């Protein structure tokens, strides 16, 4: 009984504490509801959703030991994870989507830890967890066997390791995680840049420890070697490098705008072409998994992102702004804002170049950092304007409830779905 009492006390001590107690309860409720919406009926429908056929076919081929022709170009880690899931749970839709769900839920934990560590304030962590839990973009990709959500989770793991590193072991762990993120999709390697910035800026480990990032290509190579050996391909380093180059050129050779779902990076800021990942009909009603974001959170995060360079410029040139900034953010929190800004920017770099095909889902990983930034800003706001924050999280929960049917495949009438997905390009 004593042990149970201690566990209970420990849990109560870690509950979200905000200026207004109601905010904490709403945050908890949002996290719970977001998690349930991700888990419920994830195994349905029984047919393939968005790009699942490619991933699952390749995952099966990894198990069968035949060439992975199911999916043309991406590194093998996400497909191998689906293979492992099929081994564990059988070849069924639940197993196909299990890694996405597992890592999607883990992302909620990770943004909590990153927010809390970066801003040294548990409110920032709780808000980040609630924000991500209540966002349709993250929800839909937690329910589809697609690598983007998995990569986002590994990117967040990498940043958490960089932020919490207190010695070489932490930096080496970070480098391994960056290598794994890049072994899901090559764009994941971009997280190496903000990870280095975080390590250098936070100064908790010697600057030269960033040489540990030399491990990143090695980890990437080892994952490829393991993957290719599973499908009977030559797995010596030179053959693997040759195969990587072949697949890379294939990937870079995609004809741009041949796919009507393709969207340019600047259209992501106004949710121009979100993708419906799954659609099924059932007794006159439809079940949809739309990747439309939580509009309130999305546009708030846009404001925070836009405010960051403006604030930075004003900070550099105005004493008054510096004084006012100091009243809101201490030095550590200022660094946190900078790290999150750099993280968002780094994950966007590839898409800014416009050299390869880009889709709405490519914004998922940068968006994770935008959500963290928003959580950091709102947590500061809570100190002085608790009621405003209460109103914001309450409104966020209402938007979540309204959109939940079209994010989490709850049965809804066609008219109801159209009311939520109001634009033609959203449907």
Partner 1 sequence: MTSSVDTPPPPDRLNVLVFSLLSFCLIGFGLWLVSAGKSYREAYVNKTQGWRVGSSHSVEITLVKEDKPNLACASDRTLAGLNCEYATDGTPRASASADRSQILQPYNTIDNTLLFGAGLWTSADLQGELPAARFSVTCNYNIRGLAKTASIRFSSTAAFSPLQQAVTVGTLTDCVIVR
Binding site for partner 1 (CB under 8 A): 39, 43, 46, 57, 60-61, 64-67, 69-70, 88-95, 98, 101-102, 105-106, 109-110, 113, 117, 157, 160-161, 164, 170, 173
CA distance 264 to 259: 12
Of 163 and 371, the one with the shorter C-beta distance to partner 1 is: 163
Instruction: Report, in Å, the least distance between residue 345 CB and partner 1.
Output: 24
Of 10 and 415, the one with the shorter C-beta distance to partner 1 is: 10
Chain-centroid distance, C-alpha 257: 25
Of 67 and 309, the one with the shorter C-beta distance to partner 1 is: 67
Q: What does the block give as tokens for 331?
A: 């030095």
Query: Could you tell me which residues are beta bridge partners of residue 281?
Result: 286
- On whether the CB atoms of residues 141 and 149 are closer than 8 A, the answer is yes
Of 47 and 352, the one with the shorter C-beta distance to partner 1 is: 47
Of 191 and 389, the one with the shorter C-beta distance to partner 1 is: 191
Q: What does the block give as tokens for 130?
A: 């609630």
Q: What is the largest CA-CA distance in the chain?
A: 66
Instruction: Report, in Å, the least distance between residue 18 CB and partner 1.
Output: 21
Instruction: Report, in Å, the least distance between residue 141 CB and partner 1.
Output: 16
281 membership: H or E segment, kind and range = strand 276-282
Backbone phi and psi for residue 161, each to the nearest 5 degrees, phi listed first: -65, -40
How many degrees, rounded to 5, is the angle at CA 10 between CA 6 and CA 11? 120
Of 161 and 292, the one with the shorter C-beta distance to partner 1 is: 161
Q: How many CA atoms lie within 13 A of 20 on its CB side?
A: 17
Instruction: Report, in Å, the least distance between residue 170 CB and partner 1.
Output: 7
- On whether the CB atoms of residues 248 and 73 are closer than 8 A, the answer is yes
Of 335 and 362, the one with the shorter C-beta distance to partner 1 is: 335
289 membership: H or E segment, kind and range = strand 285-290
Of 113 and 210, the one with the shorter C-beta distance to partner 1 is: 113
Of 98 and 361, the one with the shorter C-beta distance to partner 1 is: 98
- On whether the CB atoms of residues 164 and 378 are closer than 8 A, the answer is no
Instruction: Report, in Å, the least distance between residue 35 CB and partner 1.
Output: 9
Instruction: Report, in Å, the least distance between residue 151 CB and partner 1.
Output: 16
CA distance 300 to 267: 16
Assign 3-class secondary structure to 56-122: HHHHHHHHHCCCCCCCCCCCCHHHHHHHHHHHHHCCCHHHHHHHHHHHHHHHHHHHHHHHHHHHCCH
Of 78 and 300, the one with the shorter C-beta distance to partner 1 is: 78
Of 117 and 333, the one with the shorter C-beta distance to partner 1 is: 117
Q: What is the DSSP letter of 212?
A: G
Q: How many CA atoms lie within 13 A of 43 on its CB side?
A: 9
Instruction: Report, in Å, the least distance between residue 235 CB and partner 1.
Output: 17
Q: What does the block give as tokens for 30?
A: 């949002």
Instruction: Report, in Å, the least distance between residue 64 CB and partner 1.
Output: 4
Instruction: Report, in Å, the least distance between residue 109 CB and partner 1.
Output: 5
- On whether the CB atoms of residues 36 and 401 are closer than 8 A, the answer is no
CA distance 374 to 125: 11
Instruction: Report, in Å, the least distance between residue 266 CB and partner 1.
Output: 34
| Tokens 């660094």, located at residue | 335
Could you write out the DSSP letters of every residue in 285-308? EEEEEE----HHHHHHHHHHHHHH
Instruction: Report, in Å, the least distance between residue 137 CB and partner 1.
Output: 20
């Amino acid at each position: 009984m004593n042990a149970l009492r201690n566990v209970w006390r420990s849990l109560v001590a870690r509950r979200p504490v905000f200026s207004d107690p109601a905010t904490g309860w709403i945050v908890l409720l949002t996290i719970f509801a977001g998690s349930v919406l991700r888990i419920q009926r994830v195994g349905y429908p029984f047919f393939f959703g968005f790009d699942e056929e490619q991933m699952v076919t390749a995952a099966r081929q990894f198990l069968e030991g035949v060439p992975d022709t199911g999916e043309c170009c991406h590194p093998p880690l996400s497909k191998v994870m689906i293979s492992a899931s099929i081994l564990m749970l059988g070849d069924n839709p639940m197993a196909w989507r299990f890694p996405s769900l597992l890592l999607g839920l883990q992302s909620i934990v990770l943004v909590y830890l990153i927010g809390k560590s970066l801003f040294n304030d548990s409110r920032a962590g709780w808000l980040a967890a609630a924000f991500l839990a209540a966002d349709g973009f993250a929800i839909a990709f937690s329910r589809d066997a697609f690598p983007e959500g998995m990569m986002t989770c590994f990117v967040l793991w990498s940043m958490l390791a960089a932020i919490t590193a207190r010695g070489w072991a932490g930096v080496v762990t970070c480098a391994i995680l960056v290598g794994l993120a890049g072994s899901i999709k090559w764009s994941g390697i971009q997280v190496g840049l903000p990870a280095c910035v975080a390590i250098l800026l936070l100064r908790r480990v010697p600057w030269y420890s960033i040489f540990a990032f030399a491990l990143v290509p090695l980890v990437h190579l080892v994952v490829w070697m393991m993957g290719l050996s599973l499908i009977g391909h030559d797995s010596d380093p030179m053959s693997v490098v040759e195969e990587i180059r072949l697949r890379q050129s294939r990937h870079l050779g995609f004809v741009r705008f041949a796919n009507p779902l393709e969207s340019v990076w600047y259209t992501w800021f106004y949710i121009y072409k979100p993708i419906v990942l799954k659609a099924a009909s059932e007794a006159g009603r439809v079940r949809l998994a739309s990747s439309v974001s939580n509009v309130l959170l999305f546009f708030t995060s846009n404001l925070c992102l836009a405010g960051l360079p403006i604030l930075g410029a004003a900070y550099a040139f105005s004493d008054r702004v510096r004084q006012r900034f100091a009243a809101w953010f201490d030095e550590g929190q200022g660094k946190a804002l900078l790290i999150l800004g750099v993280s968002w920017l780094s994950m966007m770099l590839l898409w800014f170049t416009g050299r390869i095909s880009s889709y709405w889902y490519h914004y998922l990983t940068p968006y994770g950092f935008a959500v963290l930034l928003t959580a950091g800003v709102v947590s500061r706001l809570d100190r002085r304007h608790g009621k405003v924050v209460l109103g914001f999280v309450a409104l966020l929960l209402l938007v979540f409830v309204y959109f939940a049917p079209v994010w989490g495949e709850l049965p809804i009438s066609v008219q109801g779905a159209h009311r939520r997905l109001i634009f033609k390009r959203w449907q």
